[in-house]
Amino acid sequence: MLTVKQIYELGLKLGMEADPRGKRGVQKYLEATKKEYENLSVKEKLYFDKNKLTNPYADSHIHVDDDKTQVKRVMAGIDIGGSEILLASQLGERKKPIDLVIAHHPVGRGLAGLHDVMDMQVEIYEQAGVPIHVAEKLMDSRVKEVGRSVHPSNHYQVVQMAELLKINLINTHTFTDNLVADFLTKLMAKRKPDTLGDVLDILMEIPEYQEAKRQGAGPNIAIGSLKSKVGRYLLEMTGGTEPGDKVYTELSRYGLSTIIGMHMREPSHKAATESHMNVVIAGHISSDSLGMNLFMDELEKKGIEIVPCSGLIRVSRNKKK
């Protein structure tokens, strides 16, 4: 069995190993964060999130931890709200105790820090061929926009409920987004899709996307056709949330033909269309589920039971004994 902290640290380790910036890129980010902290005044240091000194993903946190539970059963879901916390409590009363709730999407301090992880997209775009100064300028306004959008949220509503009911709670947003990004990056590199139809075929070999299609939300071509050539492509699977619409003009200008993403806002869809790009939408909840499952499998290997909830399409890749 593992403690809550050990489970969180395992997720962090997996997320860092799968980070598209690579080990050196992550280390540079942490070094810069440490330097930023050291340069703060004594008063400013009181409010600094020290979690950021060892965790490069400000949207992923331990929220409630009693520091003593040996976790035997976790309830894991995509969106954890008050209903799911009550569900965990109810399951305990029905002799199925939940030792830890794992949310994918951010809550609490993780939600307040969502925009802080978006800087990693700058390096992803640089790797794709966009000059660093262009990528930085493109992301700056979008990061500020997301920061403004999450600022008025009731960040701690769910966390306080978990505290009152004594339910351990963590969330693993970018940890597990990195896992799905790494999984699909390696798969597409191996299979080398020629057309958008090939991309769909590859995605539809994955159980999470098969189930999503049965549920009515499977992978689809948002822009382009089955016969459209993939060309150079970019996977948009991690980095907080999707970028601003101006990114697509520059991606097209610097030779990118196709986006394979989780989801896309309407302004971005319009910009990608005007830039003559192809877009394949793999699916939001299904992609989140794939990333979460890769983490859940590691917990399952350690004897921890997984109880899926809140839209998690649970697929185990562990061999049955």
d(CA 261, CA 281): 5
pLDDT band at 201, cuts 50/70/90?
very high
d(CA 18, CA 280): 22
d(CA 82, CA 29): 34
Strands 60-64 and 169-172: antiparallel
**Quick one: pLDDT at residue 240?**
83
**Quick one: pLDDT at residue 288?**
98
- Burial grade of 125 (CB within 10 A; 0-12, 13-18, 19 or more): buried
Mean pLDDT to the nearest integer, 236-249: 87
Sign of the torsion angle spanned by Cα atoms 146, 152, 154, 155: positive
**Quick one: pLDDT at residue 116?**
87
Q: Are the beta carbons of 199 and 260 closer than 8 angstroms?
A: yes
Half-sphere CA count of 67, side-chain side, radius 13 A: 0
Mean pLDDT to the nearest integer, 297-316: 98
DSSP structure class, residue 54: T
Task: Return the residue matching tokens 């799911």.
Answer: 84
pLDDT band at 245, cuts 50/70/90?
confident
Task: Write down all domains in the chain, each with its CATH number in brackets.
Answer: 4-174+286-309 (3.40.1390.30), 181-283 (3.40.1390.30)
Whether residue 320 has pLDDT greater than 80: no
How does 282-310 read in b/e, with b if 16+ C-beta sit within 10 Å?
A: bbbbbbbbbbbbbbbebbbeeebebbbbb
